[in-house]
Structure 1
Amino acid sequence: MKVREVTPEVDTDTLLAGAQFTDAYHLETDDRTLTARRAAERMIGRPPRWVDALLTFRNILVAPFGLKTSGASQTEPRDMIGMFPVLSETPNRLVAGFNDKHLDFRVVVDVATSGASQGVTATTLVLTHNLLGRSYLAVILPLHRLIVRSMLRRVAARS
């Protein structure tokens, strides 16, 4: 199954007003039973080891700046998929993400039936708050694209 970059088709004002960065990737799978939650769990619930290693490295680097190293909150129990709190959910769309002092982040997983296949689209939205957020986004963008494509392939690999 091929992952391709597509034009984001989300209402950014509703999901993350003022977002300066948005991208989307799409794949078609023959698993017509997927819900948005199941697709998100396959994508971000258990990332590949190399992604976990990158996240561990990232957490070590950003900890001195007081940035979040996980979406989990010690005081507030939440519905989580991997490290991301689920913010809203329907059978066809799941929105996860968090707000931090340098940037706010959302990942939107949409599923839609198309003929004999099921389309899955992962859309990322980012709103930066300061120079640290803009710098962080610039540094991680090349890796972000690689990671999203790889993790979206996991949806089809388990079909």
Structure 2
Amino acid sequence: MSTTATLRTVHAVPLPEGTVIHAALPGAQYADAYQTPDPHPNASALQAWLDMVARTPHWTRALMAVRNRLVRLVGLKDVGQLHDVHDQRSGPHADPRNAASYRQGDRVGIFILRHLGEREVVMGQDDKHLDVQVSLCKRLVGGQPMLVLSTVVHIHNTLGHAYMAVITPFHCAIVRSMLRRVAAVPTRTGH
């Protein structure tokens, strides 16, 4: 592994057109997307997600724990942590940290895998208040490999609107922080 001399930053971008997550946009009440250079362009989208959530910042874990305690008081579910690994794959050699051991419909952290492609993974969590979808997409921008982390939310009721009003600033800070951590990982060369 070697580091690159390029400045790694996170930028807000439009949802990438032609992606699975972009198709979920119609009717959504909230959507965002952030982009950063991809330090491991040969890894699958799901492997990039697993690597990213394995490095979830401690302050994010603390916020999620507070969130989970508070939302139970108003009837929302405790979804766990982004980095939670659920060993529910079949077979004696399943490795929940290895993207190849996952299938569409499996749980990965707080989400269910809705789309599993080499270049894009879409995960979601749907309940009576919100339908949240998150995509990690790998693409080339000006010939440079990039990661785009997108979120699309369909809000079902007043409690869902209230929840999003409170959580949105935290969501944006968490996404940016996670992408900055990914961008700080040395670039793999020779693959």
Q: TM-score, normalised by structure 1?
A: 0.85
CA distance in 2, matches of 1:110, 1:99: 21
Count of aligned positions: 156
Q: Deviations over 1:54-110 (max 9, x none)?
A: 0110011011222121179xxx97523322221111000000111011111010110
Contact 1:36 1:110 in 2 (8 A): yes
The answer for the alignment partner of 2:48 in structure 1 is 39
The answer for the alignment partner of 1:121 in structure 2 is 148
**SS of corresponding position for 2:171:** helix
Contact 1:98 1:105 in 2 (8 A): yes
CA distance in 1, matches of 2:108, 2:56: 11
Offset at residue 30 of structure 1 (A): 4.0
Name the structure where strand makes up a greater proportion of residues. 1
Q: Which runs of 5+ in 2 are unaligned?
A: 1-7, 90-104, 187-191
CA distance in 1, matches of 2:51, 2:59: 16
Matched, 1:136 2:163: yes
Contact 1:5 1:26 in 2 (8 A): yes
Q: Deviations over 1:20-40 (max 9, x none)?
A: 111000011343223211221
Offset at residue 11 of structure 1 (A): 5.7
Contact 1:3 1:153 in 2 (8 A): yes
Q: 1:69 to 1:144 in 2, by over 3 A?
A: same
Q: 1:3 to 1:30 in 2, by over 3 A?
A: same
Name the structure where helix makes up a greater proportion of residues. 1
The answer for the alignment partner of 1:70 in structure 2 is 79
Contact 2:21 2:122 in 1 (8 A): no
Which of 105, 111, 115 is equivalent to 2:138?
111
Offset at residue 47 of structure 1 (A): 1.6
Q: Which has the larger radius of gyration?
A: 2
Identity %: 38
Letter in 2 for 1:69: D
Moved over 4 A (4+): 10-13
Q: TM-score, normalised by structure 2?
A: 0.72
The answer for the alignment partner of 2:119 in structure 1 is 92
Over the aligned positions, Cα root-mean-square deviation in angstroms equals: 2.4
Larger mean Cα displacement after TM superposition, 134-143 or 42-51: 42-51
Q: 1:157 to 1:13 in 2, by over 3 A?
A: closer
CA distance in 1, matches of 2:23, 2:38: 28
Contact 1:30 1:117 in 2 (8 A): no
CA distance in 2, matches of 1:110, 1:13: 11
